[in-house]
Structure 1
């Protein structure tokens, strides 16, 4: 039995719980540590509630001020490099991370001793982050023979860059965002794990039909093309028996209650916050909903046979009209979507994929 520990600033989409379940089902010990509580209400394992983290309103305000002149940190442009590398942009930023590392060291040290966090065989760093910006913890774990795995999300590489001290010692680098593969020479693709069986397929349809769209927060609308989606559905409301349900800035439980009432889902049409699809689309596919998202030519090739209805700002209206006017096609796409997400993203299939990556990287799941 190996011991596997996930470190993550926050529990974003339920993935930490799923990976923990998958590892334990294969006979390994697995825990996850988060730096601050999930704002979406996902469950915690070991939550340190560290100060001066991004969940703080003060820190959010400071970031807006400090990065006002840094378009890559505002998601407007991608950081160059292969891979892009994080560097302290200003003296103030360097001082902030130095002081924060000193401030949190007591709480981190106590957690390490209380939970034996320094006694694991494999460390997964979500977002490629250690507790400390200088990566002192994982450097020490690597020195004692542990293996280091990084999982990168979109903004981690597009706008922040790898932490050099982490990137130098990582044994395996993973992502579930296709466009990031071109940003790091040692990055491998891993499908998102998903508990398909937890979702009941919707039976029957609403009257009027509910066309749903979910966005994390108003400031994230740019990344999904939300304003264009709203405008298109509002136009359709004048001519067809449909209504828009915009799920925005609400806890995950409430979001799921509302999604369960949808008849058609629209994920994104902009390709600005990542290509193709993510957890939001997996949820609507698992509910048996025909799901629209933008699948550029590279996504179409990589995810050959996917069930998505391909849309962009120009084609969204015509594709929605086709769905509205063709109930048989709606049902067909719903069935195809549920089947595809089962075959591609169910937990045991993704764990097979992860363990194949382990093997290729020389990571043996045996105690050190």
Structure 2
């Protein structure tokens, strides 16, 4: 009896030990990633990206990723502080939704460290064609603006108004110069505005009595208020066509556009969900779970996690081997699109043009 009792206790202890070992091994197999974004109570940006990252892990329970979130507010000063915190925490992988202005604030430090970073939002050509440890899953602004310029050139109408945000100058000002050089068949006028703090009456005065056939908003992420400017212009230019960068696609911009929405075309990193059932399902599941549609950068974070997981699953678990993996495998299929890297880790995927924004934001 005593032997049986001892054997039973020993069996219980063995089971506990095995469970602990499995748990420990599983925990150790997770690779910590820093997700750097903007926590802003006044917008859905941070909330959307955090929830979408957690949503990815829920949908992929075998993921090797463990996430720690860092708030830099897309502010250059805060971005440097966040990066220093990541160094202190000894994290070797970063997914960043930072704007060009924010990421350039710590870029010089980044390239000196043993860290691999995937950028979901920095399009500056100052980061282009560099053999570094920063890979981008969005096109640089020249590649992006080239496709938008070609689209504008194809439109009827002669008079083009460029509305340029002054907040994110590392993106908008070079984009402006590119458009001015490559839109060759339009008469161009320019209006500079602070995309977040512009004065409506001042804008009305600037646009009063003017006639435009096309209006292109050169603005970055989170600038939903600029839809009001489209409304103002639409009231006196019913035929005017409004073009937007991929970064403004959101429920917020749809709400501020009013009646002008029927005249809008959005450049987009993605085809319509009508043409991608996986994309369509992803939007529906997320919205039913959280009650709102994710931001564009949230989709990009999901993709970044997916391709990093793929690299980790192929036994690439340090920055150098992950970089080598993407160089050797530049075509990365995700649930949303196919990301294509060039030899420098810059994205050369296509831009699409969508008129029905509700198919993406619904």
Aligning the two structures, in what range does the TM-score lie when normalised by the shorter sequence? 0.3 to 0.5
TM-score under structure 1 length normalisation: 0.36
Q: Which has the larger radius of gyration?
A: 2
TM-score under structure 2 length normalisation: 0.36
